[in-house]
């Protein structure tokens, strides 16, 4: 290695190019918004005129949209992009790589099937990394012997799978994903033979796991195969059991070898203790238990955490992350490295807007440019000490030199299993700083965002890295209700942070840059967006029915700022979406889901937060289903929107859809009866707004009245929404 190479950085940072058009767009939109406000103030109805309060409401709604747009522009103003150099890392540090502890979390064997969980586990076990420095931990908050059995099967299959991956450089290293996408090799007879035998071994293992899962219990002959099954003799139920800790592969054991005689990584199963009288703090509690237990078994200075449905699709991702932690100039400042969330089960045009492409490719690079991305819960590499509450200081520069001197307790697996159980007990955290100053934060549905903010406020820098090859692939919701419930949880937790002492404008004051504080706001303010959106969706339509104009005539010059802001803003949004890899139909679907979230998920998130402030409700946590029924999956592929279940969210969506349909008919009747031209009619813009809402709600009308499959809108929702819509129209008329 040349002297020049020794001083080259392990990563580079590049600002986004060609930002002048974006800044011109932002300036022009701002001017258009100012003109809209001038119109609203200048033409406000007199006190005795009808519609004065409706006009004021429009002005306040538009003011909110403007403020929200402003913080979004701050978020996107200065995006930066990273590049990692794994070759330089290998040349300098191949013999001094730090230990890596990988945490995979699961909570329910029904919603998150064991066969899915072990594919994620196997994908990270097979990382291109020294096995003696790799440890994988599964936290099973479901406390299921079915999941433990799957892990036992995975530990055996790993002896075949890992050497196969390394020998033939397999990608991705989730066996399910690999065998689903890879064609059987024919040119190389050795690989063809190995490929067939390994695939058969995997399919046999998968069949055994799925058979036991369907059975719902472990047969007696299987229970005799491992001492760990005896732990379930003492389990009352999934919410009342002792700590179950089993080291399935002990990486320090010289006999723990694969089929080629090479060492295996450590593999650990943990079901932390749960008792009805103790709050278990959901995923945050599980992660904190893993942090403590792993500190005794492997104590890797770097921690990767993954959701159980998000497998690794690049075996060198860990080396990408280390380029940021081990860079000689800036690596000591890095608290965590966040990778994007990407999904493999999206429909062609992303029916439910689940790709999050704009967030991952536009927003997070922007937040990185403002000081660092937030922690989004999965696919994140953490510096252990930053996660455990340590503040950044210049002394951290020395830590890189001692990473390989970290020692752990030299004990047998059985001794470690016994001594570490106390670390995952219900009482261990009493009168400690865990959940407050140490580990992940408690008391919020989005503990990840709150924890990442705390790490940044302690002086650490966060990094966002979006590599060319996707690092992780997960599963997005495949029904509308799953999507809405997921966003309800996210927006509720985000707004809870905004209303708490953890608000970045408060907790981050003089600790992180103001532009980073403001960069959190577009997400923390998701929930209150419901108020302005509900107003804009309902009130102009009802005023149209009542004969109250709220917009300028088409013939008036004041229509220009409205038209300019709407057309340019949406055109830019479309261009941005397509630049991120989407399609026009995908963008249109995104607009529909954007509307549905704001009038349903965010409404319940906002109201739940208000009720919580009043002490009338408490935090709940919902797990999003990871596997769909075959007919649901088929409709997702065909891009037919799935309703199916009865939900208050669907009632709101259907009511507003019907309300706008009725008002559109009433508005068209008014135009025909008045014999006015479109240009001179004061209701033209309201009619166009109504028409747009009708078009965007076409799948709702189909679900209410035209479809006969199981995914149609439930009859009860149809009846209630019809009644509410008719009642609202009647009240508006009379």
Angle 114-136-262 (CA atoms, 0-180°, nearest 5)? 110
Q: What is the DSSP letter of 620?
A: -
Q: How far apart are CA 92 and CA 59, in angstroms?
A: 60
Please indicate whether residue 350 is annotated as part of the active site.
no
The reply, when asked if residue 112 is annotated as ligand binding, is yes
Q: How far apart are CA 563 and CA 629, in angstroms?
A: 44
Q: How far apart are CA 13 and CA 15, in angstroms?
A: 7
Residues 6+ apart with CB under 8 A from 139: 103, 104, 105, 106, 270, 271, 272, 286, 287, 289, 290
Burial 55-74 (b: 16+ CB within 10 A, else e): bebbbebbebbbebbbbbbb
Q: How many CB atoms within 10 Å of residue 49? A: 10
The reply, when asked if residue 330 is annotated as ligand binding, is no
Q: How far apart are CA 658 and CA 693, in angstroms?
A: 10
Please indicate whether residue 141 is annotated as part of the active site.
yes
Residues 6+ apart with CB under 8 A from 48: none
Residues 6+ apart with CB under 8 A from 284: 435, 439, 440, 441, 442, 447, 451
Q: How many CB atoms within 10 Å of residue 629? A: 13
Name the catalytic one among 145, 309, 314, 448. 448
Q: Is the distance from CB of 283 to CB of 107 less than 8 angstroms?
A: yes
Q: How far apart are CA 17 and CA 28, in angstroms?
A: 20
Strand pairing category for 11-15 and 100-106 = unpaired
Count of CA atoms in the C-beta half-sphere (13 A) of 248? 28
Q: Is the distance from CB of 202 to CB of 179 less than 8 angstroms?
A: yes
Rounded to a whole number, what is the distance in angstroms from the first to the last CA of the chain? 84
Angle 229-230-231 (CA atoms, 0-180°, nearest 5)? 90
Q: What is the DSSP letter of 362?
A: I
306 beta partners = 104
Sign of the Cα torsion 677, 683, 686, 690 reads negative
Integer CA distances (angstroms), 99 to 23, 131, 155, 159, 563, in order: 44, 9, 20, 21, 57
The reply, when asked if residue 642 is annotated as ligand binding, is no
Q: How far apart are CA 347 and CA 354, in angstroms?
A: 9
Name the catalytic one among 141, 145, 258, 320. 141
Q: Which pairs with CB-CB distance under 8 Å and at least 24 residues apart come from 675-678?
A: 678/554
Strand pairing category for 302-307 and 100-106 = parallel
3-state secondary structure 206-261: HHHHHHHHHHCCCCHHHHCCCHHHHHHHHCCECCEECCEEEEEECCCCCCCECCCC
CA 167 distance to own-chain centroid: 34
The reply, when asked if residue 307 is annotated as ligand binding, is yes
**Could you list the active site residues?**
141, 448
Could you list the residues known to form a binding site for Mn(2+), using ranges.
283, 307
Could you list the residues known to form a binding site, using ranges.
112, 141, 283, 307
Could you list the residues known to form a binding site for UDP-alpha-D-glucose, using ranges.
112, 141
């Amino acid at each position: 290695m040349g002297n020049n190479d020794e001083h080259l950085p392990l990563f580079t940072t590049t600002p986004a190019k060609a930002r002048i058009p974006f800044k011109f767009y932002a300036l022009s939109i701002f001017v258009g918004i100012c003109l809209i406000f001038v119109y609203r103030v200048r033409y406000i109805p007199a006190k005795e005129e009808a519609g004065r309060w409706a006009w004021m409401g429009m002005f306040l709604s538009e003011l909110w949209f403007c403020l929200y747009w402003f913080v979004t522009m701050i978020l996107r103003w200065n995006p930066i992009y990273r590049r990692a150099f794994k070759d330089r890392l290998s040349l300098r540090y191949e013999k001094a790589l730090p230990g890596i502890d990988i945490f995979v979390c699961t909570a329910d064997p029904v919603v998150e099937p064991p066969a899915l969980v072990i594919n994620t586990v196997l994908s990270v076990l097979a990382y291109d990394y020294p096995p003696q420095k790799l440890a994988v931990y599964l936290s099973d908050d479901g406390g299921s012997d079915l999941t433990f059995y799957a892990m036992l099967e995975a530990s055996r299959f790993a002896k075949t799978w890992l050497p196969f991956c390394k020998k033939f450089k397999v990608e991705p290293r989730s066996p399910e994903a690999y065998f689903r996408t890879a064609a059987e090799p024919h040119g190389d007879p050795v690989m063809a033979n190995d490929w067939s035998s390994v695939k058969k071994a995997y399919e046999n293992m998968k069949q055994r796991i799925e058979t036991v899962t369907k059975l719902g219990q472990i047969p007696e002959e299987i229970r005799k195969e491992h001492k760990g099954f005896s732990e379930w003799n003492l389990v009352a139920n999934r919410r009342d059991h002792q700590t179950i800790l089993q080291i399935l592969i002990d990486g320090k054991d010289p006999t723990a070898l694969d089929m080629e005689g090479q060492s295996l990584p450590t593999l650990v199963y943990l079901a932390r203790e749960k008792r009805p009288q103790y709050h278990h703090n959901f995923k945050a509690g599980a992660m904190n238990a893993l942090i403590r237990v792993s500190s005794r078994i492997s104590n890797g200075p770097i921690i990767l955490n993954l959701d159980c449905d998000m497998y690794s699709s690049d075996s060198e991702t860990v080396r990408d992350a280390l380029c940021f932690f081990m860079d000689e100039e800036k690596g000591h400042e890095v608290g965590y490295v966040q990778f994007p969330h990407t999904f493999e089960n999206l429909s062609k045009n992303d029916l439910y807007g689940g790709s999050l492409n704009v967030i991952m490719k536009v927003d997070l690079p922007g937040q990185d440019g403002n000081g660092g991305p937030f922690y989004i819960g999965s696919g994140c590499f953490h510096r252990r000490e930053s996660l455990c509450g340590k503040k950044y200081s210049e002394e951290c520069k020395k830590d890189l030199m001692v990473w390989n001197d970290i020692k752990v307790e030299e004990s047998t697996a059985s001794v470690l299993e016994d001594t570490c159980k106390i670390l995952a007990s219900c009482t261990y955290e009493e009168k400690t700083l865990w959940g407050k100053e140490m580990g992940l934060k408690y008391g919020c549905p989005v503990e990840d965002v709150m924890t990442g903010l705390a790490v940044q406020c302690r002086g650490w820098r966060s990094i966002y890295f979006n590599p060319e090859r996707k690092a992780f692939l997960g599963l997005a919701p495949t029904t509308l209700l799953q999507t809405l419930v997921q966003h309800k949880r996210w927006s509720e937790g985000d707004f809870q942070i905004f209303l708490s002492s953890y608000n970045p404008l408060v907790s981050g004051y003089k600790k992180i840059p103001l532009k980073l504080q403001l960069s959190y706001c577009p997400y923390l303010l998701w929930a209150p967006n419901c108020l302005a959106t509900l107003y804009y969706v309902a009130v102009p339509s009802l005023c149209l029915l009542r004969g109250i104009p709220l917009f300028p005539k088409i013939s008036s010059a004041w229509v220009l700022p409205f038209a300019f802001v709407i057309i340019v803003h949406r055109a830019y949004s479309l261009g941005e979406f397509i630049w991120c890899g989407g399609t026009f139909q995908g963008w249109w679907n995104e607009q529909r889901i954007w509307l549905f979230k704001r009038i349903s998920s965010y409404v319940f998130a906002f109201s739940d937060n208000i009720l919580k402030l009043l002490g009338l409700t408490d935090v709940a946590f919902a797990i999003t289903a990871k596997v769909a029924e075959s007919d649901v999956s088929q409709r997702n592929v065909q891009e037919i929107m799935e309703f199916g279940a009865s939900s208050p969210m669907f009632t709101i969506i259907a009511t507003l859809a019907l309300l706008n349909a009725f008002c559109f008919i009433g508005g068209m009747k008014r135009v025909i009866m008045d014999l006015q031209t479109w240009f001179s009619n004061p209701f033209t813009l309201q009619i166009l707004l109504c028409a747009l809402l009708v078009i965007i709600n076409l799948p709702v009308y189909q679900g209410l009245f035209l479809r006969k499959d199981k995914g149609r809108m439930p009859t009860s929702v149809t009846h209630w929404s019809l009644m509410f819509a008719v009642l609202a129209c009647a009240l508006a008329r009379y």
